[in-house]
Structure 1
Amino acid sequence: MSSRHPNLDPRLFVLRGFRAGVIAFLSQFMAAFGFTFVELQFLQLVLGCSPLKSALAFLPVATVVLAVLRLTGPAHPPPRSQGRAARRSPVPGRRHALADRV
């Protein structure tokens, strides 16, 4: 390791489940980004929409994603024994989405 305190310990990739999770996450992220990029290009270059109209066409997608996030909640809720500190989300926007569940 080239750093004394890396953000992510490279030795974690030895764990098969961790490695599979990272690959699945990266695949999903790349697919979502690729779809968004290609779809926005299609709307602008093929259909002749303005950048604003193209972005507004994606609002229903964002609305559905946010609604599903609010319905599903966290994947693994923290144990009650750890108290309020364990319920804090490391993702700032997610903390506000879950404010009514705490």
Structure 2
Amino acid sequence: MNEIKSGNIYDKLNKNPTADSNCNYDIIYKEITRAKTIDMPNKLVKFNRYKHKKSTWITHGLLTSIRYRDKMYKQLKLTDPSSNNYETIDDSMLKLMKSNQKPFQ
């Protein structure tokens, strides 16, 4: 915003009524893009596999399923393999993975 305020764009424009409006448009466009690059730099965002999609076919439901699968995998690793709870978690994890793979095969 400071670039737009400090630069006097009005002086650069052609004020002749018969002037080509495309030239004035180009001047305004260049000034706005220049101010944008100075005042609004690109922001680097860390990739989060539960928020950002790698492919366009990944839906919000799949992202939710991936998050649920990862939580179940963590539970599976923390559970004692000899317990009954381990088999329950393992079975539900396999069902979830198979149900998510079917539409894309």
Question: TM-score scaled to structure 1, two decimals?
Answer: 0.28
Flag the structure with higher helix content: 1
Which one scores higher on RCO, CA 8 angstroms, separation ≥ 6? 2
Question: Which is higher, the Rg of structure 1 or of structure 2?
Answer: 2
